[in-house]
Chain A
């Protein structure tokens, strides 16, 4: 599909996400609703990869760039950090490492446990996915 059509589909889904987010009785990010909608459309084959592929790859490959204004926006809140900026940096630094270690470590451990269990059961089990 041409790029204008792809942009239309992706932005249309985002708009639908905004609508659902506005209706929901609790706060849930429109972007994640958009993601779930898109997943649903792909899963039910209503939408095919080629309908959004080029646009999606453009967005995914440049995702880091889109965060620049959010980072620059910290400038607006500098006075909030006065007197406690280093504590904030330490908290963000330390906890980010801890969370990564905890979650990645847990996934590794569970995967290893599952593989060991499968091996113990003998050759019956399927091989671990590549």
Chain B
């Protein structure tokens, strides 16, 4: 690769511009096809991975801009508070249902991952890495570490789970015939943390707020359950 070009790839603008381009293509494809598989996040990630691989651009070059985009995840999670605050009445009236839902989801998550991983004959360290895969990354890494798991494998599982949740949420809602926005939001937040929550926000204000609450509560519940049972 010639010097000038690699210098361009090293610029943070490269990662940011590439991400915006690929995401826009994903959004466009999604509008054109209306297929859940044309998920903007999935399309953008696959496109970027392909481009980096084909042009032999190191991930570290992309990350110069990537870290700047990731930096917004913290503030984006924090301002979920505003979405929740706008729905505070609903939250207060239905706190028992919301709590039961996140608890059931967190328990099913741990149990089902354990059963499936055992069925696949995975070793203990791998199982420990996968157990917290439904909760937000920092909490998941902590649980994984305490159980003797591998942080990087946990991150991969968390991200894949999030993308699956983001893709499948609309179809699952239709399949399950769940019409209540509170149930939808809690379901998405519990099964696919913040990545799913970003889809819940697109579905509606109530869905987004409930998903935000569910992602924080399921994180806490999963910590407690993991420490008690594993």
Q: Cβ of A27 and Cβ of B122 under 8 Å apart?
A: no
Residue-wise, chain B 140-154 has the 8 Å CB interface mask toward A (1 for contact) of 011000000010110
- What are 7 A-B contacts with C-beta separation under 8 Å? A55-B79, A70-B73, A74-B160, A75-B53, A104-B176, A107-B183, A107-B187
Contact mask A41-56 → B, CB, 8 Å, 1/0?
0110000010011011
Pairwise interchain contact B79-A60, C-beta atoms closer than 8 A:
yes
Residue from B59, B67, B81, B98 in contact with A35 in the complex, judged by beta carbons closer than 8 Å: B81
Q: For residue A71, which residue of chain B has the nearest CB?
A: B45
Docked CA distance A114–B150 (Å):
43
| B81 contacts A63, C-beta separation under 8 Å | no
| Residue ID in chain A nearest B126 by CB atoms | A84
Q: In the complex, what residues of B have CB within 8 A of residue A98's CB? A: 108-109, 112
Q: A56-B82, A106-B100 are in contact. Are A29 and B172 (CB under 8 A)?
A: no
In chain B between 86 and 117, which residues have their CB closer than 8 angstroms to a CB of chain A?
86, 88-90, 93-94, 96-98, 100-109, 112-113, 116-117
With A84-B122, A94-B112 known to touch, is A104 a contact of B187 (CB < 8 Å)? yes
How far does the alpha carbon of A14 sit from the alpha carbon of B212 in the complex, in Å? 16
Known: A69-B66, A77-B156, A100-B188. A17 touches B78 (CB 8 A): yes
Task: Give Cα distance in the complex from A32 to B215, angstroms.
Answer: 9
Contact surface of B with A, Cβ cutoff 8 Å: 15, 19-20, 22-23, 40-42, 44-45, 48-49, 52-53, 59, 62-63, 66-67, 69-70, 72-86, 88-90, 93-94, 96-98, 100-109, 112-113, 116-117, 120, 122, 126, 130, 133-134, 136-139, 141-142, 150, 152-153, 155-157, 159-166, 168-169, 172, 176, 178, 180, 182-184, 186-188, 190-192, 194-195, 197-199, 201-202, 208, 212, 214, 216, 218-219
A101 to chain B, nearest CB (A): 6
Shortest C-beta distance, A102 to chain B (Å), equals 4
B84 A69 Cβ-Cβ under 8 A: no
Q: Give the contacts of A67-106 with B (CB-CB under 8 A).
A: 67-77, 80-81, 84, 87-106
A27-B138, A94-B112, A95-B112 given as contacts; is B183 within 8 A of A67 (CB)? no
What are the 9 A-B residue pairs with the smallest beta carbon separation, nearest first? A103-B105, A104-B187, A69-B66, A34-B78, A71-B45, A38-B81, A107-B101, A63-B198, A31-B77
Question: Is A111's CB within 8 Å of the partner chain B?
Answer: yes
Residue from the list A27, A64, A81, A108 in contact with B41, Cβ < 8 A: A64
User: What B residues does A20 contact at CB under 8 A?
Assistant: none
Give min CB distance, A96 to chain B, whole Å. 5
Residues of A within 8 A of B155 (CB): 70, 73, 77
